[in-house]
Amino acid sequence: MKVRSKLADVDFQFGEFEYKKDHLVVHSAPEQAMQTKVYVSPNDVLTALIKALSNPMVWVYIIGFPFFLLRYRHRKRKKNYDY
């Protein structure tokens, strides 16, 4: 997952998950240079679900997900062979 902001562009890879004081804590993968923890509260999950499910483009993405996944993997494989 790519995270882009004015401060930094980070390629975040998921590592371990843990539960701590009503929060889901997502750790970055150990092999990443910049170690990161993301704290997700129950309100964060609810807000994200409500916003996502009320957006028609999210539904298009969910319905088209198998196609998008295959196309993404095909492009990534082709890009790796070109080098």
Identify the pLDDT of residue 82.
67
pLDDT band at 35 (very low <50, low <70, confident <90, very high): confident
Give the domain ranges of the chain. 1-40
> Mean per-residue pLDDT for 39-53?
96
**pTM given for the model:** 0.67
Give me the residues paired with residue 4 across strands: 9
Q: What angle do CA 34, 3, 28 make, to 5 degrees?
A: 40
Mean pLDDT of the chain, nearest integer: 90
- The percentage of residues in the chain with a pLDDT greater than 90, rounded to a whole number, is 64
DSSP state at residue 7: S
The H or E element spanning position 9 is: strand 9-11
Exposed / middle / buried, residue 2 (Cβ in 10 Å: 0-12, 13-18, 19+): exposed
